[in-house]
Amino acid sequence: MSETLNKLVYANSKYIRLSPNKARRVINQIRGKKYQEALLILEFMPYRPCKIIKKTLQTAVANATNNYHYTKKNLMIKTAFVNAGPKLKRFQPRAQGRAFPIRKPTCHITIEIAKN
């Protein structure tokens, strides 16, 4: 039982169709915050990545409560980061038979939480 006292619990979201830079802008706002505070921040920020990051955070908390019997009040975000995923490569036709490359970025979101 003493092994699970300060266990880090995490959740991953992979291959999300977002720009990593735009997702990092939101992740930086919640890093180091308590769970309830981070949830409020994500609820009222007007950016598209907030919904996906909120879902990932709730998954991490569900892992902590179900697997390790932590309470939601005592949880805080230890680390949160966004890595770049593979880029979807498409082509846009241009004048005179040329092709213009379009790179659609993806990202991987990881959130680790622990007890206070």
Give the model confidence (pLDDT) of 11-66 as tens digits: 999 999 999 999 999 999 999 999 999 999 999 999 999 999 999 999 999 999 99
How far is Cα 29 from Cα 74, in angstroms, rounded to an integer?
Answer: 19
Look at 53 and 3; give whichever has higher pLDDT.
53
Average pLDDT over residues 85-112: 97
Q: What domains appear along the chain, each with residue ranges and CATH number?
A: 8-115 (3.90.470.10)
Q: Rounded to whole angstroms, what are the CA distances from 47 to 32, 51, 60, 66, 88?
A: 20, 8, 21, 30, 22
Q: Percent of the chain having pLDDT more than 90? A: 93
- pLDDT recorded at residue 1: 46
Radius of gyration over every alpha carbon of the chain, rounded to an integer in angstroms = 18
Q: Tell me, what's the pLDDT at 11? A: 96
Alpha-carbon gap, residue 100 to 56, rounded angstroms: 35
Mean pLDDT of 66-79: 94
Number of Cβ atoms within 10 Å of the Cβ of 116: 10
d(CA 75, CA 93): 50
